[in-house]
Chains A and B, each alone.
Chain A
């Protein structure tokens, strides 16, 4: 592992404006390479406060790497990330207080029951015990995890893990939610529930940015969209801007550069 200290901001990187129109999340030239492979090639992104932001990209586009650097889980090679103006890497404590995160492909403390895990997360965040109790009860109830609250998380299904992970991210009522693939492996009923919760959260002034490669979900929920491929942002803007009156899937495939039709290649099939 490289022993990089806090990354110095590159000269071209400037902090986001401090006036009223401060973005909820601002990425400034974030870059990361693993060995010879460039995972993220310096991305700039402004997620406006109060937006429902979809980060789209094919597998291996660098979505998880970008979001991990944005929330302080992976140290970037260059660039900076700001949550409501707080520098994630220079002042992590202040930035992390504003953030709720659902990472993807990350284990949980799965030898705790769902209820214990919520209590654990709340106490780690320094919340008072009675508040943790009340909110944990609400969240388990709404997410349909009351029964499962007594079961060890290690025995949960993939969908239940997503739900308890989301509950952990919401527990301290963060201003900004960063969700990595929140709808993966979730059944349609739970997905509808999660969509509902997130929409209510945005209506009440919160900001959500989530990664996905399911166009229908993004089209239905998002106010803004960014398409990431090969570690670079290929298209960005409001949903209407990016779509340009077309189908989002069509735009996505075109921007990413995939093939849309097969010719005679698989004639033997």
Chain B
């Protein structure tokens, strides 16, 4: 018997990847499509990066832009590597340390193997291609020697990101034993992720509005953090500053050592895996079981019936299920962020002292419609939230329309008032107070049309979500393709809502407010009614098929 080597773990990962593709041509096609898109985007970004700043007439500015791009893109990449696996792709469960718990694999070997395995795959390759553009840029600017340095630095940056992600997930696995903690973490990270968009927008706005100096200051600070340091070193060396370069290298080295130590220290507890703990009992509610399910506060909205039961359960699930709560919060944040970004982004260069230009009607109209749309799109894969639990509805023979309408009504009751308040606040803040009534109408239109699209999508293109306790685990592969379908549906929904959006642009003042409000609500309600009618009939026909589609495969 020989001991395992890191090579074996890399081979295991490749084998697992191959097995997951075997015999399913659509999966292979999806994988290849992902690969091509990934490489294409990576290559495109890389090429764009390597060309930035080269055409600059002023050499100093051109150098600054190159520096800015290198450090910001680099920092973003490392940060994305550290956080994205948890957010969007889930921890790469193919090489789960818990699976090695019973095998006599030395920790050092496991560490090296998992690290090497993390570099095998599309994401690593794509990232390398994207940041590799920095090396080409360095070569074009400073010559081949610096290009080589830059290449090494790009690889080191990738290494920092990968090790950070491994250490974080491993440490979290130890921390997230209890369901409460896991739920909390999922929500926290979702909120952080939704904040990433405004942050990015802020930086873009800074650069756009000509505040180069401020952006430069930010990137100089970032260049002293382990996130940005690898990408600043080529500039240091090319411009003859050996000292700072060496100091940055030390920062990176210490960080890597620290992360590796942290990872190795937490790996053992991650290997033990999560153990189930009994949950605390909820406060006893007086009255019968039905009163517990449909409390007094909901009695005004629904009666005890199949519709009422589904409404009440959905109402609770949006808060009690961490995965749903995370999506709900993200959508609420997005419903604020999107109109803000749209309304405040100057489309003409800002002239100091001049009044802020009034936002364009087209932009207001579509911005607000979009806020409603993403709210309704929460239901695009609504049956997968509870996976095979849908069997209970099949066994009870719940009519499809009742089911879909109860789910839509619960979401509407929960989100529409909030989104309405948020959007109105954004409108007032951006000087568009006369848009509030019309805004509510547009919201209703977007939300109703989205309910229609999402209902159809959730019945016809459902895909499973993994049935595990890890809130970060999301499935890759089949899900992402159908997730793309949801993106297409958003565009389609906005197109569907266009008649009302157009009406809002042609009118003015109070007339606009009243007409758009009335027409918008009617349009939204009709769209939702029709959509759930058609999707409900499909659900009645395809119940068992839907159940199979949302049941995770083991």
Contact = CB atoms under 8 A, between A and B. Distances in A.
A1 interface: yes
Contacts of A111: 316-317, 320-321
B355 interface: no
Contacts of B291: 133
Given A3-B545, A154-B179, 18 more contacts: A5-B541, A75-B545, A103-B395, A109-B317, A111-B317, A112-B293, A113-B282, A121-B392, A123-B308, A124-B306, A124-B309, A129-B304, A130-B288, A132-B289, A136-B289, A148-B281, A151-B281, A157-B278
Contact of A119 (B309, B320, B388): B309
Given A119-B290, A129-B288, A107 B467 contact: yes
A150 B279 contact: no
Interface of A: 1-5, 35, 71-75, 92-93, 96-97, 99, 101, 103, 105-113, 115-116, 118-126, 128-130, 132-134, 136-137, 147-152, 154-155, 157, 168
B290 to A, nearest CB: 4
A120 B302 CA distance: 13
Given A73-B544, A74-B548, A132 B313 contact: no
Contact of B290 (A5, A103, A132, A155): A132
A107 B294 CA distance: 22
A73 B288 contact: no
Interface of B: 23, 179, 276-285, 287-294, 304-306, 308-310, 312-313, 316-317, 320-321, 386-389, 391-398, 467, 541-545, 547-549, 551
Nearest to B387: A107
Nearest 10 A/B pairs, CB to CB = A155-B279, A133-B288, A123-B309, A119-B289, A136-B289, A119-B293, A129-B304, A124-B396, A150-B281, A111-B320
A127 B22 CA distance: 48
Contacts of A121: 392, 396
14 contacts: A3-B542, A72-B544, A73-B544, A107-B387, A109-B386, A112-B293, A116-B289, A124-B309, A125-B396, A136-B289, A150-B284, A150-B285, A155-B276, A155-B277
Nearest to A136: B289
B553 to A, nearest CB: 11
A151 B280 contact: yes
Q: Max chain B CB contacts within 10 Å: which of A1, A3, A5, A71?
A: A1
Contacts of A124: 306, 309-310, 392-393, 396, 398
B20 to A, nearest CB: 15
A151 B279 contact: yes
Nearest to B462: A1
A132 B288 contact: yes
A193 to B, nearest CB: 20
Q: Which of B289, B309, B395 has the most CB of A within 10 A?
A: B289
B293 A116 contact: yes
A97 to B, nearest CB: 8
A112 B313 contact: yes
A119 B544 contact: no
Contacts of A92: 397
A52 B541 CA distance: 33
Contacts of A118: 289
Contacts of B292: 113, 115-116, 119
Contacts of A152: 279, 282, 320
A99 B395 contact: yes
Contacts of A132: 288-290, 304
Nearest to B324: A111
Nearest to B322: A111
A192 B283 CA distance: 31
Contacts of B313: 109, 112, 116, 120
Contacts of B543: 72
B288 A155 contact: no
B279 A154 contact: yes
B389 A108 contact: yes
Contact of B179 (A35, A148, A155): A155
Nearest to A148: B281
A75 B392 CA distance: 16
Contacts of A129: 288, 290, 304
B63 to A, nearest CB: 56
Contacts of B548: 1, 74
B549 A1 contact: yes
Contacts of A71: 395
Nearest to B321: A111
A43 to B, nearest CB: 18
Contacts of B284: 150
Contacts of B306: 123-126
A148 B317 CA distance: 19
B293 A137 contact: no
Given A116-B289, A151-B282, A96 B389 contact: no
A121 B312 CA distance: 12
Contacts of B389: 106-110
A161 to B, nearest CB: 12
B52 to A, nearest CB: 47
Nearest to B282: A150
Contacts of A110: 389
A119 B305 CA distance: 10
Nearest to B544: A75
Nearest to A132: B290
B265 to A, nearest CB: 30
A106 to B, nearest CB: 4
A69 to B, nearest CB: 9
A106 B285 CA distance: 28
Given A133-B288, A150-B284, A123 B293 contact: yes
A103 B391 contact: yes
B317 A1 contact: no
Contacts of B283: 150
Highest count of chain B CB atoms <10 Å: which of A35, A106, A168: A106
B405 to A, nearest CB: 15
Contacts of A35: 23
Contacts of B392: 108-109, 121, 124, 168
A6 B386 CA distance: 26
B523 to A, nearest CB: 32
A101 B397 CA distance: 12
B304 A123 contact: yes
A94 to B, nearest CB: 9
Contacts of A1: 545, 548-549
A104 to B, nearest CB: 11
A25 B127 CA distance: 59
Contacts of B305: 123, 126
| Residue among B23, B388, B397 with max Cβ neighbours from chain A (10 Å) | B397
